[in-house]
Every structure is written in C-alpha cells, then in structure tokens.
Amino acid sequence: MASSPNSITMEELDLERNGRAERSQWLLHAPEPPGLVSELMSSIRETVFPNGNKFSSSVKKQPVSKTMISVLKGIFPILCLFRNYKAAKFKNDLMAGLTLASLSIPQSIGYANLAKLDPQFGLYTSVIPPLIYAFMGSSREIAIGPVAVVSLLISSMIQDVVDPSIDPTTYKKIVFTVTFFAGIFQASFGLLRLGFLVDFLSHAAIVGFMGGAAIVIGMQQLKGLLGISHFTTKTDIISVLASVWRSIHHPGRRNKKLFWLPAIAPLVSVVLSTLLVFLTRADKHGVKIIKHIKGGLNPSSAQQLQFNGSHLGKTVKSGLIIAIVALTEAIAVGRSFASIKGYHIDGNKEMVAMGFMNIAGSLSSCYVATGSFSRTAVNFSAGCETVVSNIVMVVTVIICLELFTRLLYFTPVAILASIILSALPGLIDVNEAYNIWKIDKLDFLACIGAFLGVLFASVEVGLVVAVLLSIMKIILNSIRPGIQTLGRLPETEIFCNINQYKMAIKTPGVLIIRIDTDLLCFSNANYVRERIMRCVSEEKEESGGTEKGTTQALILDMTNLSNIDTSGILVLQELHKKLLSIDIELAMVNPSWKVTHKLKLAKFIDEISEKQIFLTVGEAVDASRRSKIVSF
Amino acid sequence: MASSPNSITMEELDLERNGRAERSQWLLHAPEPPGLVSELMSSIRETVFPNGNKFSSSVKKQPVSKTMISVLKGIFPILCLFRNYKAAKFKNDLMAGLTLASLSIPQSIGYANLAKLDPQFGLYTSVIPPLIYAFMGSSREIAIGPVAVVSLLISSMIQDVVDPSIDPTTYKKIVFTVTFFAGIFQASFGLLRLGFLVDFLSHAAIVGFMGGAAIVIGMQQLKGLLGISHFTTKTDIISVLASVWRSIHHPGRRNKKLFWLPAIAPLVSVVLSTLLVFLTRADKHGVKIIKHIKGGLNPSSAQQLQFNGSHLGKTVKSGLIIAIVALTEAIAVGRSFASIKGYHIDGNKEMVAMGFMNIAGSLSSCYVATGSFSRTAVNFSAGCETVVSNIVMVVTVIICLELFTRLLYFTPVAILASIILSALPGLIDVNEAYNIWKIDKLDFLACIGAFLGVLFASVEVGLVVAVLLSIMKIILNSIRPGIQTLGRLPETEIFCNINQYKMAIKTPGVLIIRIDTDLLCFSNANYVRERIMRCVSEEKEESGGTEKGTTQALILDMTNLSNIDTSGILVLQELHKKLLSIDIELAMVNPSWKVTHKLKLAKFIDEISEKQIFLTVGEAVDASRRSKIVSF
C-alpha cells in the first residue's frame, strides 16, 4: 500500500533482477546432496577413523616397523610420553603421586566399606585399574580408583541379590562378576564407537544425580556415626570435613603452597585416630575397629566370576548401569581437566581403556574403578604432569599393602565414615544447580528429577527419570517449534525477529516468517502450519478486517530448516493451497541443500514456481514489492 | 594471507564500524525473552483459545442472545449453514447423499461381517454416528460410518478376549464397551487439546499401516472366497474390483458424468447376486447366504456396556488404540479434502465431534465409526456441498432398515467379501510408498516398518513399530546434526554452504561454520564440538601442515540455533578454550533471542567479549580481516 516509489532506474532494476535470477538458479541447480547410503558410509567412516584418512596416508609412507610403532602408540598413549620425559617432570609427578596416594589409601578403604567389601578390596582397586589406565588412557590428570557413587551403586544393586552380611562370599563373587560385565560393556561401547550413549546423561542430570547419591551416602554414614557419638574424634571429623570441603570447592583458587594440607588431612586423621584408639584401647569400650586387613598384593579372582546361576540377568543389568554411570563420571572428569590444559580426549578411546582396566580388575579382586573427581582435583593442584603420578600412587599403595596393613588394625570404622562424608560435599553442587535453574528451566527439571529419584526411590529410578526427562526435552522441542516474524533493521538489508529487535520495521503487505526448527516433520508440521495461518489472520485483523488482502505475500525464511520429511512437504503443499485461496503469494527463502532437493523430488518447486524461491529475504521482499508495482 | 588491500578510506571504515558496533548492541541488549512460565501460559492460552482473543473481544460487543448463538454455532457448525442454504445446494446434496447411500449400505454390511458382527450392526453404525457428526463436525465432505481398518482392529483385538463364534453376546457387549471408551478417549483428546497426539502417526506410517491392514483383510476375505470358488459371481467381483479401483484411484480425474457408475456398482452387484441366488436357489447347493437381518431402527445398547469384570483393562486399551487409529484416518481424510476446497478444519473440534458420535453410537448398538476414505471420495465427486449429504444418506439407510432388510435374505456372503475386497486397493498406495522412498529414506523405513509389523505380527505391533521408528527419527536427527562450512557467493554479501554452492569462495584465514540444529543440547553438543574441531584441523592440513596458525578466526553462524541448554553452553566454553590454546579467535554470528539471553546468564558473552558477537557473517568476516590488518 504505502510503498515509497523506488529511486532506481529501470536498467539498474533489470541488472539487479538478472543477478537475482542467476542466484536463484544456483540454489535450484545445486548438485544432489549425498543420499542416505553415502551419508551412512561417511558416518561409519567418521566413526571408525575419527581423525580422517590421516592414519591410512601415513601408513603408506612409512616402513612396517614405524607403522607398528604408531599403531602401538595409538593403543598405548604412554609410549608417546618417553620421548620428552625429563627428570623435572618426574619430580612433579612423584610429588603429585605421593599426595594422591595419601588421599587414595584412606578413601579406598572407606569406599570399600561403602560397597560392603573388606577394606583390602578398596586398596586392590587402587592398584590394577590405575596401572592399566596409565598405559592405555589419554587423560593426564585423572585419578583412577574406587569412587563413592559407584560404591553406593554396587552395594545397593547387589544387596537385592545377596545380602553381604549373610553370605559375604557369594556377594564378593557377584561384585567381581558385575565388574567384569561393566568392563565388557565399557570396552564394547568404545570399540563400537557408541560414545554418544554417555551423552544421554546430560550435565544437568549428572549434577542432580550426584547430589542425590551424595545425600543418600551421607545419610547411611551419619547413621553409623551417630551410633558412636561419644567417640572422641568428632572434632577431627569436622576439621576434615571443613578442610576437604575447601580443597574441593576451590581447586586452584587457594594458596598453591598449601594444596597438600587438605589432601593429606584424611591420612593424618586416620593415623591420629588409630594411634588414639591404640593408646586408649577404645575398642574395648565399644568403638568398632577395622581389625585384620589382609596384606599382600591382589590375589586372582578369575575363578570367582559367576556366569551361570539365577542371578545372571540381574548381574548383567547391574553391570550395564554401573558401566554407564562410571563412564559418565570418568569422561566428565577427564574432559573438564583436559579442557583446562587445552588438549583433546577421545571419548571412545577412553571407554576402551576403562573397559580393559575393569576387566583386568575383575580378574584381580578389584571392584569397578573409575575417575574420581576429588582425587583428580588434588592430583591436578599437586602439579602432576603425566599419568606417571598414577603409577607413583600405585607403587605407594602396593608398598602399603605389602608392609603397613597391620598398622591399620586399630583404625576406628567411624573414621572411614568421616572420610566418606568428607568427600561428599564435593558431589553436591548447589551453585551449579542454581546456575542451571537460572539458565534453563527444563534442564533444571531433569536435574531435580534425578535428584529426587535417587533420594526417594532408588539410584536406578533416578537415572531412568533423568534420561527420560532429557529425551522428553528433545521431543518437546521438536513438537513445538517457534516461528519468528521478521522485520528489516533500519538502514540495513538485515531481517530480524521483531520481538527481539524492537527497532525492526515490518514491510507493509509482506509477512516474513522464519521457522525455528531444523526438521519440519510429522510431529511439528501441522503445528507450524497452524501458527503461520494464525499469523496471517492476525496480520489481517491488525490492518483492519474489512480491507481484504492487505497481506499480499508470505515469505517463508527456511534458513533454519536443514531437513524435511514427507509429512512436512504435505503441509507446505496444504499451506500453499490455503494461501492461494485467500490471494496470498508464497515465497521461500534459502531452503537448505536437502530441503531443496526433496522439494524438487516432490514437485513442490514446480507447484509454487521457481520464481518464488530466493536466496535472501531482501531479494524476496524486493521481488514481491516489484510484482505489486507491476500488478497495480 | 592473500587478503587484497581494501580500497575504503579510514573514515568510511570508522563509520561502518560504528554502525556495526551499534547493531551488535541491539543484539546484546534486546529485551529478555519470555521465560518458561510466560511461555507455558501463552501455550495454554493458544491451546484453549486457538483463534486468539477474537472470541472474548466479540463477546464484549454483543448482547447475551447473540453471544449464546455464536457459542452454539461454535459447538454445532451446522447452525451456520442455514443462512445460505438454498434449493440448488440441497439438490446437489441429495444426489450425493443417495450415491453415498448406495455405496454405504453394502459396505456397512460387509464391514460388520469383517468385525464379526451381524449385518444390521453395520447399518446401525451408518445411522447414529453420521447424524451426530452432521451437527457437530466441521468437515463438509467426510462420509462417516464403519471402515475396513477399524473393523479389522475390532475383531482382531477383541477376539483375544472372547471368541465371537462361541459367545457372540459377550463379544457384542465388549464391542459396544470398546466403542464407548474409544469415544471417551477421542472426546477427551479434543477437550484437552491433545490433537498433536494424532501427529505421531506420521503420513508415512499411515501409508504403511493402511497397506498392511488392507493385505491382512484381503487374505482373510480371499480365504472365504476361495472356499466357494465355483460360485458364478466371480467375474462380477473382478468387474467391481476394477471399477472401484478406478473410482478411488482417480477421484475427479475421470469423466464427471459417470462418477456414479463405480459408486453404485457394489449395490448393483448385491442386487444382481441376490436375485441370482433367489432364482437358482444356489443356497441349497452350498452358497452361504446372509439369511435373517433384523429390521427396524437402532435398539438401545446402554444396558450392554460392561464396566466391570476381568476384561476391563484390555477393553480400555483396545478403546485407546482404536480411538487413535480412527482419529488418524478421519483427520487425514478430512484435512485432505478440506485443503482441496481451501477451508480449515480444527483438529481438536473434530476430535470432540468424533468422540461424541462414538459415545452416542455405543449407546445405540453401533460400533466405532470414523471417516471413510473411499466413501468420502465418492461423496466429493458426487458433488456434495454440505454435511446434508450425510443426513440424506442416514435417511436412506433408515428406510432400508425399516423396509428392505427382508430383501437381503438371499444375499450371498461371498458378495460381502467381494465388496470388502473392492475397497482394499484404495488403501494400498504403492505410488505414495514409492514417492516416500524417493523423498525420504527414513520415512520409508517407518512406512515399511508399519507395513511389515501389521502383516507379520499384529495391528498393534505395526502401530507401535511405526510410532517408535518415527520418534527414533526425531532423536537421531537431534543427536547427529550436520555442520556447514560457509563461503561467500561471488559479487554478493551472501554466505552459503560451500558444498551446495560450488561457486562459493572461502575467505582465507577465516573458517565460517553454521551449526545445523535448532537445539544445541546434551545429546549433540559434544558431537558438534568434535565436528568443528575436525574442520579446524582439516583446514590446517589443507593449508600445509607446517605453516602454523593459517586459520586465525572461527566464525560460528548461530542463526539456526533457536535454543541451547547448559550442556550446550559448557561445550561452547570448552570450544572457546581449545581455540584459544591454538591461537584461533572465536566469533559468533546472530545468536537467537533465547540463546543470547542464556549466554549472557552463563557469562559466556563476557568470556569471549561483546566485540566478538556480530549480526551477520559479513560483518564478522570484515572485523576479523581488519583485526588482522591491525595486528600485522
């Protein structure tokens, strides 16, 4: 209606129009996009050779011996390390390893207690798995060993099958079998490149899940603690709690020189409390002590794996769940520290390493090991350089197993509870939960769902709730896409959402709509059509209901749409027919490669005519205004 | 490297830069997008008042009596009809209604046979439900009554509970109860505005499902037919088949004057075959005949509904499944014919109408009715104008029930099978299946999954397979989004996918990537980051591995991204850190409203600095090239 007369000459107009027509031809006559088969092939290629063809090309140039070495280096990243490994690095690794060991030893004993196993099994788990990981894994900081949540999972899931207080031997056997299956699952996830499965536990879900698990563990331990509340080390516990709370919550922020203080606090409290009990003989006054810890290195447990019997189904299921939870924690830990140092971790390779370390562990009396967040943080702040710090830790634990287990005879059981408790605050990340609430309410729903599920139902229910809520988010997002009405930003050729940019100006007579979804498909196509038609009728009402046909063109900006299915195409056809019946022209802008191809196959491009397809919104607006000038 | 010296003066550059900076401020300081609560509220408002506030505003202006009338018209669209209804229209409706009835009567008897009910129940179902629909429904062409697929579903699902050949009374009672529940479900879907549930049976799935069901029905009928293959009407069947095949496959394409020929062919063959049997007394030579059909109008069946007993769970489940299938067919039929005539059908209102008609049907000895595709096509080509044609059909069926049921005594059962068979080819749409294969391979998978599921397992399995495959498509699309590398189209400021537009030119030193997803979330964020990092390293290799840092800027075009979650933000932060560590600047282009808001909340905008956010790719490229000029 109010179209200001254009100040361009007819010649310029023709030139412009030719350029536009040519560009539309580029759009319409692009080569065919890769079909499903070639997409599948390239997806498989990507999955199998994630680093492109680099590997195969380097193979051709090199002699066999060098190829062998590079393959070996691929499988055992530790081999890459020897080239540049110097004394200074070793010194750092040695210090970090010793610090790590001083935290690892008491934690391992504590977590074994949580998993309802004898203390030595925790120590065993701090020997074989970190050793295997050191050779196969690619993270430099991660501290491998038993962790709180996995220990809780083990005891809570296997207790349903066998009660450890009634039949500890069978319980132990099933723990090893579960560990074996967890390893098998982890390794196969890695080998089959199913790394994305771990992504289904979203960041928000993990935060909620960890928080819930920490509270459940805390309740269990507090119950134990309160039973012996007359015990004298109570103040000690509080100090441990406070110091470790600080150490975990602010890694790197506090005084660098004192990093070892909170890290060795657990060991100090173990030593002090053990001495105290030994001196006062408090065990005779009701304080429970660990008593005998079996010394010596890991015995073989290959004979104890149970592949028959009625528990097999439950064992495999537990193995799968524990495998996923352990991987999720390890990969989250590995990635966050790798990104601080700016190197890359290959999730699939990590999974293979974790799988093999747990398979090896299950054959040598270990239960499921993974990357511990609190110990990794300590390892990192202690200045570790390579996985050698893990090896130092292993050697220290071995020495402890060989020589010092007798010294732990008088260690009060309560101190173990306090060590477990001291690691829990690090798992409850209220700040992050608040951040999630602030940023994304649906994420928070997954977070709180996992939290409450773990707290009030069970660990498995919490996991399932978290995954289901996360998948629901994807589906919800797919069935209710938004649409934006676009307007021109003043003095530019840029068209933007008029709600976001209040200064954007609508073009009279033209309604420009952008569809906010990447896949116009059965689940959202009808909804999108209804939203668009509502926009059209609202536009009509605004411009005064009586003046028929004020909106003369509807421009669909399809930039966001990367794919479409047959239901989506049907809906576009219906939309086109409806718009025709109320005298509105439909133009489409910048349909993506696949969409253009499919619209051509479905003959929809012929239906609306090639002239109604444009590369930019500006061109479509100009064309529709010009056709108005012509038609008036 | 090869950046050609810019021919602009410093002043122009400053002006340009100020404009750009101002526009970036528009982007960064847009008002807050609506939060979850206000989005939920507006979603509820949209759902409850799908036509905006029109209703409430019109209420205010009008007196009470007029308001009442408009409310009544909303509930009973037939009231709108009387204003313009003229004799010419009625003549058309009368003709269409009579044609419809001539197809309806034999089909109703046939489908009742398919549902393992006595013939009169088919006729009953062609009385009450179309009458109720005529008053409440909004489609003008749809022909309501029993249909093949629903009849098959009824018999196949309820046979598991009660065998109709052993206990026909209980079977009948359960059929009415299932009909009642189906009506309740349909009405509540409509009232609760859950219309989108029907969308989960995608177009492709329906094509496969219908084809599978048609073949299953055909096998059953053929088995019956082959048993009496000496019967003389065999040629008749073929002619019926051929004529109806043509009538359904090309509605509107063939000679308009002869539309009634295939439509009345079933009635003619019923009359002829009945006469033939009557004259030759073939029933005494082994030809099965219908024998007694109970005359008179629908008796009440309110007393026969069974709400207790052990079958209730199965009954409710069957009701739900049949409700969804019936709705899907009816809405697909209604929508496709409404779009030909260019008027709108409100899915939720349709569901309420269907629900009430089936509830009323269940109380008056009807089984589940819905919109029949073949009869709607006949009604349409017979030139129906309004739902009055359905009423004419109902009156004809009533007359038939009252007067002519005795005449059907000698009708051979085989002719019913042939009538059912004749309707089947319309359900098997090989052309459409081929189209789906051509356009979208994943859609075809859903189609063939539904087809094979129905054929080799059961109707329910087919449905479940189709829905699961469709949902899998959404999730697959979400976890594996594509990324595009963009280049500038020659002589423009347009940046496009370099694979789609072979003429697009990459800007040296700058890598421009567009993320092809609408939601960067837990399920795809890690994958996207890995794809981007692979692009970066490929770019490095291409430009000669040794020349370090050729790529100096990575521009992320976030236009397509309409939302992001906390996992997505974490990944962007990791990406930024990694790029920093290899000296590549990260710039972001046109993040959408919600994304900008969330990145601000997560303080990521502060991390990468406001200067690295641009409105268009062109501006980002210019800025990065200028910063290079400055830095050299």
- Report the predicted TM-score, pTM, of the whole model to 2 decimal places: 0.77
| Tokens found for residue A62 | 């090199």
User: So what's the pLDDT on residue A541?
Assistant: 76
Separation in Å, CA A299 to CA A124, A172, A317, A390: 9, 13, 26, 21
Question: What length does chain A have?
Answer: 632
Cβ pair B499:A593 closer than 8 A: yes
Rounded-to-10 torsion of CA B602, B603, B608, B611: 120
Q: What is the DSSP letter of A146?
A: -
Q: Is B47 on the interface with A (CB under 8 A)?
A: no
Residue entry with tokens 């991390």: B607
Cβ pair A500:B196 closer than 8 A: no
Cβ pair B566:A527 closer than 8 A: no
Q: Is B562 on the interface with A (CB under 8 A)?
A: yes
| Best of A351, A471, A518, A537 to mutate (most B CBs within 10 Å, chain B) | A518
Q: What is the DSSP letter of A281?
A: T
Residues of A in contact with B19 (CB under 8 A): 491
User: So what's the pLDDT on residue A237?
Assistant: 44
d(Cα B295, Cα B400) in Å, to the nearest integer?
9
Q: Provide the chain B residues 505-534 that lie in CB contact (below 8 A) with chain A.
A: 516-519, 521-527, 530, 533-534
Q: Is B335 on the interface with A (CB under 8 A)?
A: yes
Among all residues of chain B, which has the CA nearest to that of A616?
A: B494
| Tokens found for residue A261 | 């203080």
The answer to whether A501 touches B30, Cβ cutoff 8 Å, is yes
CB contacts < 8 A (A, B): 256
Instruction: Kindly report, residue by residue over B219-244, the tens digit of the pLDDT.
Output: 877 766 665 444 333 334 444 444 44
Transcribe B53-118 into DSSP letters: THHHHHHHHS-HHHHHHHHHHHH-GGGGGTTT--HHHHHHHHHHHHHHHHHHHHHHHHHHHHTTS-
Question: Three-class SS of residue B210?
Answer: helix
Q: Is A188 on the interface with B (CB under 8 A)?
A: no
Q: Which residues contact B541 (CB under 8 A, 6 or more apart)?
A: A54
CATH second-level architecture of A480-631? 2-Layer Sandwich (3.30)
Cβ pair A577:B340 closer than 8 A: yes
Q: Is B477 on the interface with A (CB under 8 A)?
A: yes
* Cα B199-B203-B209 angle, rounded to 5 deg: 105
Cβ pair A26:B503 closer than 8 A: yes
Transcribe A106-141 into DSSP letters: HHHHHHHHHTTS-HHHHHHHTTHHHHHHHHH---SS
Instruction: Kindly report, residue by residue over B27-53, the tens digit of the pLDDT.
Output: 777 777 777 777 777 766 666 555 544
Separation in Å, CA B493 to CA B119, B486, B490: 71, 12, 8
Q: Which of B362, B365, B338, B361 is nearest to B349 (CA)?
A: B338
Nearest beta carbon to residue B489 from set A23, A342, A475: A23
User: So what's the pLDDT on residue A628?
Assistant: 60
Cβ pair B199:A344 closer than 8 A: no
Residues of B in contact with A616 (CB under 8 A): 494
Which parts of chain A register pLDDT below 70? 1-17, 20, 43-62, 223-262, 339-340, 342, 344, 544-549, 628-632
Query: What are the structural domain ranges in chain A?
Result: 78-428, 480-631
Q: Is A436 on the interface with B (CB under 8 A)?
A: yes
| Tokens found for residue A255 | 């005084």
d(Cα B570, Cα B525) in Å, to the nearest integer?
9
Among all residues of chain B, which has the CA nearest to that of A438?
A: B601
Find how far residue B167's CA is from the centre of its chain. 38
User: So what's the pLDDT on residue A130?
Assistant: 94
User: So what's the pLDDT on residue B234?
Assistant: 39
User: So what's the pLDDT on residue A10?
Assistant: 58
Question: Three-class SS of residue B585?
Answer: strand
d(Cα B400, Cα B415) in Å, to the nearest integer?
18
| Best of B439, B476, B492, B494 to mutate (most A CBs within 10 Å, chain A) | B439
Largest CA distance in chain A: 106
Burial of B112 (0-12, 13-18, 19+ CB in 10 A): buried
Nearest beta carbon to residue B566 from set A443, A471, A493: A443
Among all residues of chain A, which has the CA nearest to that of B26?
A: A501
Pick the CATH number of B481-631 from 3.40.250.10, 3.40.50.300, 3.40.50.2000, 3.30.750.24: 3.30.750.24
Q: Which residues contact B572 (CB under 8 A, 6 or more apart)?
A: B520, B564, B599, B604
Residues of B in contact with A199 (CB under 8 A): 479, 522-527, 567
The answer to whether B612 touches B587, Cβ cutoff 8 Å, is yes
User: So what's the pLDDT on residue B26?
Assistant: 74
Residues of B in contact with A582 (CB under 8 A): 342
Nearest beta carbon to residue A570 from set B203, B524, B615: B203
Return phi, psi of residue B528, to 5°.
Answer: -60, -45
Question: Three-class SS of residue B146?
Answer: coil
Q: Provide the chain B residues 606-625 that lie in CB contact (below 8 A) with chain A.
A: 615-616
Question: 3-state secondary structure string, A213-274?
Answer: HHHHHHHHHHHHHHCCCCCCCHHHHHHHHHHHHHHHHCCCCCCHHHCHHHHHHHHHHHHHHH
Q: Please report, as a single letter, which amino acid is at residue A449.
A: G
Instruction: Kindly report, residue by residue over B158-197, the tens digit of the pLDDT.
Output: 888 888 888 889 999 999 999 999 999 999 998 887 777 7
Nearest beta carbon to residue A581 from set B342, B470, B478: B342
| Tokens found for residue B145 | 């009554």
Cβ pair B470:A441 closer than 8 A: no
Instruction: Kindly report, residue by residue over B304-318, the tens digit of the pLDDT.
Output: 888 887 888 889 999
Rounded to a whole number of angstroms, the distance from the CA of A16 to the nearest CA of chain B is 11
Transcribe B223-245 into DSSP letters: HHHHTTTT-TTHHHHHHHHHHHH
Return phi, psi of residue B229, to 5°.
Answer: -70, -10
Q: Which residues contact B79 (CB under 8 A, 6 or more apart)?
A: B69, B72, B73
Q: Is A485 on the interface with B (CB under 8 A)?
A: no
d(Cα B412, Cα B291) in Å, to the nearest integer?
9
| Best of A521, A541, A558, A580 to mutate (most B CBs within 10 Å, chain B) | A521
Cross-strand partners of A143 = A372
Q: Is A299 on the interface with B (CB under 8 A)?
A: no
User: So what's the pLDDT on residue B13?
Assistant: 58
DSSP H helices, A486-589, are 525-542, 566-581
Nearest beta carbon to residue A503 from set B26, B43, B202: B26
Q: Is A549 on the interface with B (CB under 8 A)?
A: no
Which H/E stretch holds residue B333? helix B312-341
Q: Which of A456, A459, A440, A543 is nearest to A202 (CA)?
A: A440
Average pLDDT over all residues of chain B: 80
Q: Which of A310, A314, A302 is nearest to A178 (CA)?
A: A314
Nearest beta carbon to residue A482 from set B471, B523, B562: B562
Rounded to a whole number of angstroms, the distance from the CA of A91 to the nearest CA of chain B is 26
User: So what's the pLDDT on residue B394?
Assistant: 93
Rounded to a whole number of angstroms, the distance from the CA of B372 to the nearest CA of chain A is 20
Cβ pair B436:A199 closer than 8 A: no
d(Cα A591, Cα A605) in Å, to the nearest integer?
11
Among all residues of chain B, which has the CA nearest to that of A560?
A: B560
Which parts of chain B register pLDDT below 70? 1-18, 20, 43-62, 223-262, 339-340, 342, 344, 544-549, 628-632
Nearest beta carbon to residue B567 from set A203, A481, A559: A203
